[in-house]
A and B are shown apart, each in its own frame.
Chain A
């Protein structure tokens, strides 16, 4: 029930942001469409902790900026490699230490979001990652990002 309420509020906030016009008639359309969406989501059984991970929203406040900084660093690194042509691609096989599937997905997506590393396969808790250079791969295998995501997962 808590999830349904927060989903409704979120959708309505989104609607208000997109609309920009707040006459009675148009706002009532917005309310109607939000209710329709929530009802459909309910029928589809997708209002659960995976489809709507509201409990992780707070944790992302610390994780987001850190990830952003990693992305900036990785971008500069890959751009240098584009210019110099200094690449040495290799595969990396690592274990995702997160407990929940959601945590592993966040980890895998964070890896992909950082240029220079792309998660190619996620089966069970094993990740197959393609990296642009051996150094990048070894850096990833040291697991700084993995422990960050584990911490994020534990904060809920």
Chain B
């Protein structure tokens, strides 16, 4: 294990922990459900990406690398679908969002 790769991987894992923590704090701090969805998104995306990449750098070229990549792919494919499904269910249930001002449109 080269020293540079080692340092890089720890930077990745540290960054991942930082973003996961941000997600956790946001989950507690944000005022309503829809805003919390965004906070949860941080953990699901960059948090996991960085932590898993850090682990990948620790692994080197072997089968486990492929496994880590697959875990990451699964996470990245499933988390938006799950997040969208939760938000849609809440919306259809009539859960109001705290918004001010008008809706933004592209027209």
Binding site for B on A (CB under 8 A): 14, 17-18, 20, 68, 71-72, 75, 78-79, 81-83, 85, 87-95, 108-110, 112-121, 128, 130-132, 134, 137-138, 141-143
Contacts and interface: CB of A to CB of B under 8 A. Distances in A.
B35 A75 contact: no
A24 B42 CA distance: 44
Interface of B: 18-19, 22-23, 25-26, 29-32, 34-35, 37-39, 41-42, 45-46, 49, 63, 66-67, 70, 76, 79-81, 83-84, 87-88, 91, 97-106
Given A85-B29, A128-B91, A130-B34, A93 B42 contact: no
Contacts of B25: 82-83
Given A72-B46, A89-B97, 8 more contacts: A85-B29, A89-B35, A90-B99, A112-B41, A115-B38, A115-B45, A120-B84, A121-B91
Contact of A112 (B46, B83, B99, B104): B83
A83 B35 contact: no
A93 B87 contact: no
A132 B70 contact: no
